[in-house]
Amino acid sequence: MALHIHEACILLLVIPGLVTSAAISHEDYPADEGDQTSSNDNLIFDDYRGKGCVDDSGFVYKLGERFFPGHSNCPCVCALDGPVCDQPECPKIHPKCTKVEHNGCCPECKEVKNFCEYHGKSYKILEEFKPSPCEWCRCEPSNEVHCVVADCAVPECVNPVYEPEQCCPVCKNGPNCFAGTTIIPAGIEVKVDECNICHCHNGDWWKPAQCSKRECQGKQTV
């Protein structure tokens, strides 16, 4: 019986040594930096060169297929050398545009002022107004103001006057001309002094009157 107990003790002394050597392994300790390898080195990506195109999201497009890459709002065509994107000549944005969207290939104006500004005042589209007696203006749909200035005829007198709210001067006393320093009406002969009778040239009011001397009627002395 003592022999069996002695053998059992020897067996118990041997087993812990076996367990200890089996439990301790290289995986239980962190590896040195030189032994560590990145798992990404083992990833293999498909090569689509000459076969298709890949956008920023990872979608694959066949050769000749049109698509919109993430960095461009203009359509592209998948070619052998990669995407070929359109570069159109975009229209100019209206200088009075208040809202521009860049969702498409070209920037687009979505809102323009619906009024015109002229000399510090605002006018509605197609509204007509007169900033002065000689100007006629209209607010165009392009938000621009177009004006026409009245072309006044030359007055047929030497003393025209400007009436309120009227653009062109008027001859209140009709056509006339100068006879020396005297203004005489046109169309009749006028005795300007004791010796001269004058009349205006027909249609040439700006010329001095044509005068002729008559027998002077001076006072007789006794």
Backbone angles phi, psi at 18, to 5 degrees: -70, -40
* Lookup: tokens for 2: 């003592």
Q: What is the pLDDT of residues 31-73, one digit of tens each?
A: 444 444 434 444 344 555 667 888 777 788 888 888 877 666 7
Residue 211 CB coordination number (10 Å): 19
pLDDT band at 18 (very low <50, low <70, confident <90, very high): very low
Residue 93 CB coordination number (10 Å): 13
Residue carrying the six token digits 């009024």: 115
pLDDT of 49: 60
CA dihedral 203, 209, 215, 216 (to 10 degrees): 140
What is the pLDDT averaged over residues 123-145?
90
Q: Give the predicted TM-score (pTM) of the model.
A: 0.37
Residue carrying the six token digits 């798992």: 39
What is the pLDDT averaged over residues 78-97?
82
Average pLDDT, rounded, for the chain: 75
The CA distance from 135 to 137, in Å, is: 6
H or E, element range at 12: helix 2-23
DSSP 8-state secondary structure symbol assigned to residue 161: B
What is the pLDDT averaged over residues 172-191?
89
Q: What is the pLDDT of residues 158-170, one digit of tens each?
A: 999 988 878 899 9
Q: Is 16 helix (H, G, I), strand (E, B) or coil?
A: helix
DSSP 8-state secondary structure symbol assigned to residue 187: T
